């Protein structure tokens, strides 16, 4: 179907109405605002015993109901928040063990036909210097990211004819084609998992991304509140179609991309409402496909060039509320990975890593071409928003090690078929975390030998030994001697220079 309201021939072809309608129930989407407001209001002044019962349910790795989540969101007692925070970390440890997965974002293009009120890339921002990376430039950026020690990348694009599916596929291939030598050991290294954050697409295009070998497809709804959505995304732009975006990940699963990532941009509307929206999104994915979100993101809006909204939104989320929303999301959707990004300052990042986050970025540059050309990062006219934590990967892995967590660069899951329904089952039974523990140690071993500074190795080496002792003493592995044996061999081989071994 052709949409006359959009400006160009290309944009008129993007939204395919049938690929929205097929997911609606009685013509409605799954965000019933009246119901959400009612649930939030009804759960005021919760009984402490009810809170404790809900925490127990989450500890048995079951997704919470909207009513239960609304109850947690209404807690006011500091003591109960302490219990909530404590349980959030316990849930994370049960499902994901004590590891933090690292990735780096790679911004490929800031060309964009949309006018999102909070974003520096919006079309009407004439201060933005527009740039789309060539394949050669993408390879150069990838080399810089590899030299930091990363193994996972997320490619990020504005929405534009020039960065449509063919460009995305060529970008993915360009990234996978790069091989570098690790600076300390000289061992070969390459990116092992490319994820994508890009605008919603029709199923046929998503299938091409699947064929190109991407890991996760990520689309943030930004806000689940219809009226706010319409206010910050003009209706005559592609992004102005709320439901096209709401069902982007449903289409992805239909296209075979079963690791999908949801998110909301916190600061556009009431944070409690957005937590409920994310939960309803997870519930609808589970209802329609039996697969929940692979990850949840909860970026807080940060200042963007020329965007009044990003500087003075009435819904800006305080640090205290931010920590609450992280803990509640951890408990409400216990199987989902949770991503905190470099938008947050180092001290907040550190705190929410201890509330159950599972992934973070480091050495992040969000200017187009900014990994290999530091000048474009300094120039704010080439950036989408401002970042709070510009530290190198080495600094962040060291801090993570000080907290007692293993930095993981594991990409085994999707290469071993542990995606979608399979991984969700394993997460629910707390089995995936065990594999992750082994792969985290193997990839942290690689990192320490290939990239880490002396200061990081000093903390990392005893940590890895402690982790190995723990693995050796766990009943789960003792009952699977073949697995333990393979792990021991792989660890020894990694120490001796073999790379990319996983279970
Ligand atoms: N153009 C695509 C889209 O909008 O889906 C892809 C990515 S956009 C470059 C990535 C994400 O950055 C957006 O989904 C939005 O949540 C976030 N973002 C935009 N402006 C931001 C700001 N001022 N502060 C923090 N995050 C922002
Ligand atoms: Fe474009 Fe995405 Fe920025 Fe909106 S958030 S202006 S769609 S890059």
Distance (Å, rounded) from C-alpha 304 to C-alpha 116? 11
pLDDT in tens, the chain (503 residues): 666 677 788 999 999 999 999 999 999 999 999 999 999 999 999 999 999 999 999 999 999 999 999 999 999 999 999 999 999 999 999 999 999 999 999 999 999 999 999 999 999 999 889 999 999 999 999 999 999 999 999 999 999 999 999 999 999 999 999 999 999 999 999 999 999 999 999 999 999 999 999 999 999 999 999 999 999 999 999 999 999 999 999 999 999 998 999 999 999 999 999 999 999 999 999 999 999 999 999 999 999 888 889 989 999 999 999 999 999 999 999 999 999 999 999 999 999 999 999 999 999 998 899 998 865 554 444 566 778 999 999 999 999 999 999 999 988 876 777 666 766 667 676 676 677 889 999 999 999 999 999 999 999 999 999 999 999 999 888 888 888 999 999 999 999 999 999 88
Spacing, Cα 278 to ligand 2 middle (Å): 20
Please report the pLDDT score of residue 245 as a whole number: 98
Q: Which of 352, 308, 349 is nearest to 327 (CA)?
A: 352
Probe target for ligand 1 pocket from 197, 278, 308, with the most ligand atoms within 8 Å of CB = 197
The closest residue, in CA terms, to atom 21 on ligand 1 is: 119
Q: Which of 162, 302, 309 is nearest to 234 (CA)?
A: 309
Please report the pLDDT score of residue 380 as a whole number: 45
Helices (H) and strands (E) in the chain — how many of each? 24, 11
116 lines ligand 2 (CB under 6 A): yes
263 lines ligand 2 (CB under 6 A): no
Q: Quick one: which ligand is closest to 108's CA?
A: 1
Q: Which of 334, 369, 393 is nearest to 104 (CA)?
A: 393
Please report the pLDDT score of residue 383 as a whole number: 60
In the block, tokens 């997704």 appear at: 63
Instruction: Report the relative pairing of strands 260-263 and 295-297 from DSSP bridges.
Output: parallel
Distance (Å, rounded) from C-alpha 274 to C-alpha 423? 26
Instruction: Report the relative pairing of strands 180-181 and 152-157 from DSSP bridges.
Output: unpaired
The closest residue, in CA terms, to atom 1 on ligand 1 is: 158
Please report the pLDDT score of residue 356 as a whole number: 94
159 lines ligand 2 (CB under 6 A): yes
Spacing, Cα 119 to ligand 1 middle (Å): 6
DSSP H helices, 333-453, are 346-353, 374-378, 393-402, 412-415, 420-428, 432-450
Instruction: Report the relative pairing of strands 406-408 and 99-109 from DSSP bridges.
Output: parallel
The closest residue, in CA terms, to atom 11 on ligand 1 is: 220
Please report the pLDDT score of residue 478 as a whole number: 87
Q: Quick one: which ligand is closest to 245's CA?
A: 1
Q: Quick one: which ligand is closest to 305's CA?
A: 1
The closest residue, in CA terms, to atom 2 on ligand 2 is: 158
Residues with C-beta less than 6 Å from any ligand 1 atom: 118-119, 121, 156-159, 197-199, 219-220, 222, 265, 299, 301-302, 304, 310, 343, 384-385
Please report the pLDDT score of residue 8 as a whole number: 86
Spacing, Cα 157 to ligand 2 middle (Å): 8
Q: Which atom of ligand 1 is nearest to the CA of 157?
A: 6
Probe target for ligand 2 pocket from 159, 307, 310, with the most ligand atoms within 8 Å of CB = 159
Q: Quick one: which ligand is closest to 221's CA?
A: 1
Q: Which of 191, 240, 188 is nearest to 214 (CA)?
A: 191
Q: Are 476 and 434 in contact (CB under 8 A)?
A: yes
Q: Quick one: which ligand is closest to 125's CA?
A: 2
Spacing, Cα 189 to ligand 1 middle (Å): 30
Distance (Å, rounded) from C-alpha 133 to C-alpha 117? 24
The closest residue, in CA terms, to atom 19 on ligand 1 is: 119
Q: Which atom of ligand 1 is nearest to the CA of 219?
A: 5
pTM > 0.85: yes or no: yes
User: Angle at Cα 386 formed by Cα 139 and Cα 409, nearest 5°?
Assistant: 45
Structure tokens at 77: 């007692």
Q: Are 266 and 274 in contact (CB under 8 A)?
A: yes
The closest residue, in CA terms, to atom 17 on ligand 1 is: 265
The closest residue, in CA terms, to atom 8 on ligand 2 is: 158
């Amino acid at each position: 179907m052709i949409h006359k309201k959009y400006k160009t021939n290309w944009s008129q072809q993007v939204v395919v109405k049938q690929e929205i309608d097929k997911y609606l129930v009685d013509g409605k989407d799954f965000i019933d605002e009246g119901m959400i407001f009612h649930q939030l209001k009804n759960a005021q002044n919760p009984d402490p015993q009810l809170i404790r019962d809900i925490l127990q349910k989450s500890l048995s790795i079951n997704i919470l109901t909207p009513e239960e989540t609304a109850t947690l969101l209404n807690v006011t007692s500091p003591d109960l928040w302490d219990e909530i925070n404590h349980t959030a970390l316990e849930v994370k440890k049960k499902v994901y063990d004590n590891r933090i997965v690292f990735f780096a974002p790679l911004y490929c293009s800031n060309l964009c036909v949309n006018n999102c009120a909070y974003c520096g890339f919006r079309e009407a921002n004439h201060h933005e210097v527009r740039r789309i990376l060539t394949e050669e430039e993408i390879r150069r950026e990838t080399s810089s990211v590899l030299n930091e020690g990363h193994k996972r990348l997320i490619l990020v694009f504005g929405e534009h004819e020039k960065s449509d599916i063919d460009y995305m596929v060529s970008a993915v291939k360009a990234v996978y084609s790069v091989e570098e030598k690790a600076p300390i050991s000289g061992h070969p290294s390459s990116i092992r998992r490319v994820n994508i954050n890009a605008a919603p697409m029709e199923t046929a295009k998503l299938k091409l991304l699947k064929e190109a070998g991407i890991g996760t497809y990520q689309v943030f709804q930004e806000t689940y509140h219809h009226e706010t959505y319409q206010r910050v995304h003009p209706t005559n732009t592609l992004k102005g179609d709320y439901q096209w975006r709401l069902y982007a990940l449903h289409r992805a699963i239909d296209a075979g991309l079963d690791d999908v990532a949801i998110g909301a941009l916190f600061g556009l509307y009431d944070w409690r409402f957005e937590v409920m929206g994310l939960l309803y999104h997870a519930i609808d994915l589970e209802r329609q496909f039996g697969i929940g979100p692979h990850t949840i993101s909860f970026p807080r809006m940060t200042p963007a060039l020329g965007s009044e909204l990003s500087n003075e939104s009435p819904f800006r989320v305080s640090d205290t509320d931010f920590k609450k929303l992280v803990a509640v999301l951890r408990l409400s959707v216990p199987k989902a990975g949770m991503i905190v990004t470099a938008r947050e300052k180092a001290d907040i990042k550190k705190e929410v890593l201890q509330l159950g986050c599972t992934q973070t970025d480091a050495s992040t540059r969000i200017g187009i071409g900014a990994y290999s050309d530091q000048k474009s990062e300094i120039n704010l006219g080439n950036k989408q928003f401002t970042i709070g934590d510009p530290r190198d990967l080495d600094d962040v892995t060291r801090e993570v090690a000080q907290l007692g967590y293993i930095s993981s660069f594991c990409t085994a899951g999707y290469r071993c078929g542990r995606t979608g329904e399979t991984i969700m089952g394993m997460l629910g039974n707390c089995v995936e975390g065990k594999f992750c523990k082994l792969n985290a140690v193997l990839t942290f071993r690689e990192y320490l030998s290939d990239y880490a500074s002396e200061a990081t190795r000093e903390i990392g080496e005893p940590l890895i030994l402690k982790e190995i002792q723990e693995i050796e003493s766990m009943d789960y592995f003792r009952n699977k001697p073949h697995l333990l044996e393979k792990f021991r061999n792989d660890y020894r081989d990694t120490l001796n220079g073999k790379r990319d071994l996983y279970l």
